[in-house]
Structure 1
Amino acid sequence: MYTSNLNNLILNSDSYKTSHWVQYPAGSEYLSSYIEARGGDYDVVFFGLQAFIKEYLSTPITHRDIDEAETIIHAHGLTFNRAGWERLVDKHGGYLPLRIEAIAEGSIVPVSNVVCQVVNTDPEFYWLPSYIETALLRSIWYPSTVASVSHYCKNIIRDALEKSADNAESLIFRLHDFGSRGASSHESVALGSLAHLVNFAGTDSMTALVAASRWYQMTDDMPAFSIPAAEHSTMTAWGREGETAAFANMIAQFGGEGKAFSVVSDSYDLWNAIDNIWGTTLKEDVKNMGGTLVIRPDSGEPTKVVREALERLAVKFGTTINSKGYKVLPDYVRVIQGDGISPQSLSKIIDVVLAAGFSAENITFGMGGGLLQQVNRDTMSWAMKASAISINGTWKDIYKDPITSHSKRSKKGRLALVKDNEGNIQSIKTDDLHTHVDNLLRDVYVDGKLLIEDNLTTIRERAGW
């Protein structure tokens, strides 16, 4: 029985990494590795490295960690570099002798570019950059992918608002995070939901608020907001015959000037709820309450349901025509679609809504699994690869180029990221850097110290907030 510490960095790796220290050529001194998203449908919004450094690289490795790791790794059937880890504790106080450089968090770059690079700073630890691949790559690919998907959706919604609404001021509240319950772990919620907040200010993941304060200096400001909302249990508890009373109670509890609240309305018959309850029995209450009722369908084919919901609401409550020529419901009633939302379905729903003559300002979206869970490392083909090694004082390029899959060809050499005179971003070798060209990769972590600490506000600004 092992009582291991999940924060033991030595064990936060793939098993085969434990034998790699004896596999490098004699005379190895330094190893340089880089991280990139090799492909996919989205530009990269880089995010999450600071959280990883604060959570995992700011605490030194101890002799107790080494003892624990040795026991588990030997029992696991593998070799263990005890001398190397003990030397790291004795010589560097347990802090990793690494230099991690990366683009600024919130930066947007095309795929197939280096976004992070790591090299050891002490030649005794040539094996260390590769050893932390598992933890470092995971810390970047997941939140960066969520931020990239979220940003892609933001652009879709922005385009729709610019086309069909008088203004796009509400953009940051148009995609709400519903993903907390569907995420694979509490830490996934913390990282993924926080990544969404790089682009938007709406979430039902309170864990993201804690994460923002813990990792991105948000102790004084509230980074995201939500509104009171019904779930099926709070509606069906009144019984089918009590649905009108349940809806009326929502108005009584949460209506008021400047307020907004959401009511799931498909517990039994969405069309009856819109036509006869909201649109007839409670119509005057909705009109006169002073706030905004947000009706939430939660079943059916989203494009059809959203369009019909808007059309039925238009019949009951009327519309005005905005300056762009699109129909807008009264300010006191809106729709939120939170079921079945993905980047693809969101785009289809918007197309249908606009084709029906309605402005995108009539609808807000909630995304759960499509935001936090329906992504993986292959969504953007993330990888960390060694690209250069110094042996006996001489650097040489290393790379992979499998004949069976040229898409997995890796980059060569120590890398830099630059922007040319036309604004195009590209990866080049550091040997090709000119003095008048800035390397967009910057030192973030060196020998146990976090050198740059950004707050969420700054990161949002970089991402085009």
Structure 2
Amino acid sequence: MSRVNPILNTDSYKLGHFLQYPPGVQAVSAYITTRGTSVMPEIVFFGLQIFLKDYLSQPVTAADIDEAEEVAALHGQPFDKAGWQHILSKHGGFLPLSIEALPEGMVVRRGLPLVQVVNTDPACFWLPGYVETALLRAVWYPSTVASALRHVKRTLMPFLEKSCDDPEELMPTRLAEYGARGATSLEQAGIGGAANLLLFENTDTLAAVMCTRRYYGAKMAGFSMPASEHTTMIAWGQEREAQSFAHMIDQFGDYPAYSVVSDSYDIHHALSELWGKLLQPRVRAKPGLLIVRPDSGDPIDTPVQAVSQLAYHFGTRLNGKGYKVLDDKVRVLQADGVSLRDITMILGRLEGMGFSAENISFGIGASQLQKVSRDTYSFTMKGSAIQDGDGSWRDMSRRPVNMHEKLPRAGRQAVVEEEAELVAIRREELGGRQNFLQPVWENGRLLKEWSFDEVRARARQRHRLYG
């Protein structure tokens, strides 16, 4: 994206926080965590590396300071010009921060510290709190999308395990993401789409592919196929619908798979008369897999009927678990506004009819990228420790409003393994144990870089310690 002024990548009220700390403060330590419990007690940590490479790698410039000074004055806020000039002159414009984080892709229980930040220059004691807005946003959104999609995956897996010969191999292809047009920005489409690619591999969001390439070194993290839309189909007119389908076969039948939206006029006619009879020899003559899209109509009945009609015309085989699988030349994709509830009902109904879950896959749009918020998993960043002028650290914590309120832990944090679980402890209790909060950034330098393959592998592990 276009360059932003790093000084102004915060909330307005934080411009004056440099004047609010007690005298003698040398450092502030803060960490990001998730609060509370729910039916989704685990989260997938993801996305910090995008922020480190895209935003923290941009040094503050003299022009940034001048702009921020003007904006602050007009906006009604004080401005620490001397503090920012100090960062420019002493640190080359890079923020003097040390950031630790869990390995990206790790699946952890809510309540664990995910990221911990502290200033490395005593003159910039106010900086950890200043970056909260940008840092928390950089973590909560991609982590929430990835965590929600992990819940989708766990919901779908029992259907695949019961009716498919190789559920693990099939799972990454069961959900395709088409959320780019419904995202609020190119950046959201890229980051949210990248989070989706941790769990599923089919996408039409090029921004997601580019995000994983640029920030995680993935040569190709997601896959697509030639596909029609209603515009390219209805351009032929209803009287030439058969020709429009035949044209798709001719153009794309040599690809591994191609998708044809088939509900422009009458999905049942298209299934039984066009695909099932007239064009079936032509489909079989090509090496590619035809994926029929019955997008409109009842979101549950229509895709179930599509599988059933294709089974009647193309035939089926029984897999190793005794479920019917469509002929290898044809499958179904339902991609128009299906919810997780709809998907489970479709799979349940097909299972009851003796069909394997392998016969159908699903598409999701912006719902998975948009219907989340910071409160979905209660992400928060809290200052937990402060270093006084004598170099000693003391805890920071407010008083609970009531006895039932559970506050984030005070003190500098570490994360260790105890009895096959990750738990948070105070940093001074670490001893010789491994701290899973690893240094990833310091004073403008990326200390640890995760590949997308590494992050994806962690997110897909099914059993704890790591998911």
Q: Is TM (by shorter chain) over 0.5?
A: yes
**Alpha-carbon spacing, 1:441–1:344, altered in 2? closer, same or farther (3 Å):** farther
The aligned counterpart of 1:58 is 57
**Alpha-carbon spacing, 1:401–1:323, altered in 2? closer, same or farther (3 Å):** farther
Decide whether the 8 Å contact of 1:97 with 1:125 is kept in 2.
yes
1:461 aligns with 2:439: no
Amino acid at match of 1:403: V
Name the % identity. Answer: 47
**Alpha-carbon spacing, 1:418–1:351, altered in 2? closer, same or farther (3 Å):** farther
**Alpha-carbon spacing, 1:108–1:279, altered in 2? closer, same or farther (3 Å):** same
**Alpha-carbon spacing, 1:325–1:30, altered in 2? closer, same or farther (3 Å):** same
Equivalent residues in 2 for 1:147-186, closer than 5 Å: 147-168=146-167, 169-186=169-186
**Alpha-carbon spacing, 1:412–1:337, altered in 2? closer, same or farther (3 Å):** same
Which secondary structure state, in structure 2, belongs to the residue aligned with residue 181 of structure 1? helix
**Alpha-carbon spacing, 1:361–1:400, altered in 2? closer, same or farther (3 Å):** farther
The aligned counterpart of 2:268 is 271
Give 1:44 shift. 1.5
1:360 aligns with 2:353: no
Give 1:360 shift. 0.9
Give 1:246 shift. 0.9
Which secondary structure state, in structure 2, belongs to the residue aligned with residue 328 of structure 1? strand
Amino acid at match of 2:181: R
The aligned counterpart of 1:224 is 222
1:64-112 residue CA offsets vs partner (Å, 9 max, x unmatched): 1111001011101111111111111122121111110000111111122
1:304-323 residue CA offsets vs partner (Å, 9 max, x unmatched): 22222212222222222211
Decide whether the 8 Å contact of 1:101 with 1:445 is kept in 2.
yes
1:243 aligns with 2:235: no
Amino acid at match of 1:228: P
1:313 aligns with 2:327: no
**What is the alpha-carbon distance in structure 2 between the residues aligned to residue 181 and residue 396 of structure 1?**
49
Give 1:259 shift. 2.1
Amino acid at match of 1:229: A
**Alpha-carbon spacing, 1:26–1:369, altered in 2? closer, same or farther (3 Å):** same
The aligned counterpart of 1:447 is 443
Decide whether the 8 Å contact of 2:35 with 2:408 is kept in 1.
no
Equivalent residues in 2 for 1:259-408, closer than 5 Å: 259-392=256-389, 393-403=391-401, 406=404
**What is the alpha-carbon distance in structure 2 between the residues aligned to residue 390 and residue 166 of structure 1?**
58
**What is the alpha-carbon distance in structure 1 between the residues aligned to residue 94 and residue 297 of structure 2?**
54
Amino acid at match of 1:8: N
Moved more, 318-327 or 61-70: 318-327
**What is the alpha-carbon distance in structure 2 between the residues aligned to residue 8 and residue 115 of structure 1?**
26
Give 1:154 shift. 2.6
Give 1:284 shift. 2.3
**Alpha-carbon spacing, 1:118–1:263, altered in 2? closer, same or farther (3 Å):** same
Give 1:425 shift. 1.8
Q: CA RMSD in A?
A: 1.9
The aligned counterpart of 2:464 is none
Amino acid at match of 2:411: G
**What is the alpha-carbon distance in structure 1 between the residues aligned to residue 347 and residue 123 of structure 2?**
57
Which secondary structure state, in structure 2, belongs to the residue aligned with residue 340 of structure 1? coil
Number of equivalences: 456
Which secondary structure state, in structure 1, belongs to the residue aligned with residue 383 of structure 2? strand
**What is the alpha-carbon distance in structure 1 between the residues aligned to residue 127 and residue 298 of structure 2?**
51
Unaligned runs of 5+ in 1: none
Amino acid at match of 1:186: L
Decide whether the 8 Å contact of 1:307 with 1:356 is kept in 2.
no
TM, length-normalised to structure 1: 0.93
**Alpha-carbon spacing, 1:344–1:386, altered in 2? closer, same or farther (3 Å):** farther
Decide whether the 8 Å contact of 2:439 with 2:447 is kept in 1.
yes
Amino acid at match of 1:461: A
TM, length-normalised to structure 2: 0.93
1:214-258 residue CA offsets vs partner (Å, 9 max, x unmatched): 11123xx322211000000011111122211111111111113x6
**What is the alpha-carbon distance in structure 1 between the residues aligned to residue 338 and residue 416 of structure 2?**
36
Give 1:350 shift. 2.5
1:178-197 residue CA offsets vs partner (Å, 9 max, x unmatched): 11111110111121111222
The aligned counterpart of 1:213 is 213
Give 1:404 shift. 6.5
The aligned counterpart of 2:103 is 104
**What is the alpha-carbon distance in structure 1 between the residues aligned to residue 325 and residue 99 of structure 2?**
50
Which secondary structure state, in structure 1, belongs to the residue aligned with residue 343 of structure 2? helix
Which secondary structure state, in structure 1, belongs to the residue aligned with residue 203 of structure 2? coil
Amino acid at match of 2:287: G
Give 1:124 shift. 1.3
1:430 aligns with 2:427: yes
Which secondary structure state, in structure 1, belongs to the residue aligned with residue 111 of structure 2? coil
Amino acid at match of 1:325: G
1:419-445 residue CA offsets vs partner (Å, 9 max, x unmatched): 212x1122222122232x311100000
Which secondary structure state, in structure 1, belongs to the residue aligned with residue 331 of structure 2? strand
Decide whether the 8 Å contact of 1:42 with 1:148 is kept in 2.
no
Unaligned runs of 5+ in 2: 462-467
Amino acid at match of 1:215: Y
Moved more, 5-14 or 16-25: 5-14
**What is the alpha-carbon distance in structure 2 between the residues aligned to residue 115 and residue 149 of structure 1?**
17
